[in-house]
Amino acid sequence: MTLIINGEIKEFSQDSTLQNIITNLQIENKVMAAAVNMNIVKKDDWNNFIPKNDDKIELLQFVGGG
């Protein structure tokens, strides 16, 4: 399936969960929040949430600063 992740087009298998995608991208230690089509997906649901073809996913990390 084709997904748009943080503005980049990526390909994943049809049954990939959000957690699988984050792990595959090797950013699991950085991602603090995820939104699919502008809807927040709780971290507790990442293992069960399967995006659909052409979904837009934003993977966010929080950065400290001042």
Specify the range with the lowest mean pLDDT, choosing from 1-5, 14-18, 25-29, 44-48: 25-29
CA distances from 12 to 3, 31, 62, 63, 64 (A): 8, 18, 25, 28, 31
Are 3 and 21 in contact by the 8 Å Cβ rule? The answer is yes
The 10s digit of each residue's pLDDT in 17-40 is 999 999 999 998 889 999 999 999
> What's the CATH number where 56 sits?
3.10.20.30
Query: Residue 65 domain-assigned?
Result: no
Q: pTM for the complete prediction?
A: 0.89
Instruction: State the total domains in the chain.
Output: 1
Q: Which domain holds residue 40?
A: 2-60
Tokens coding 44: 């507790």
23 located within any domain = yes
Does any domain span residue 66? no
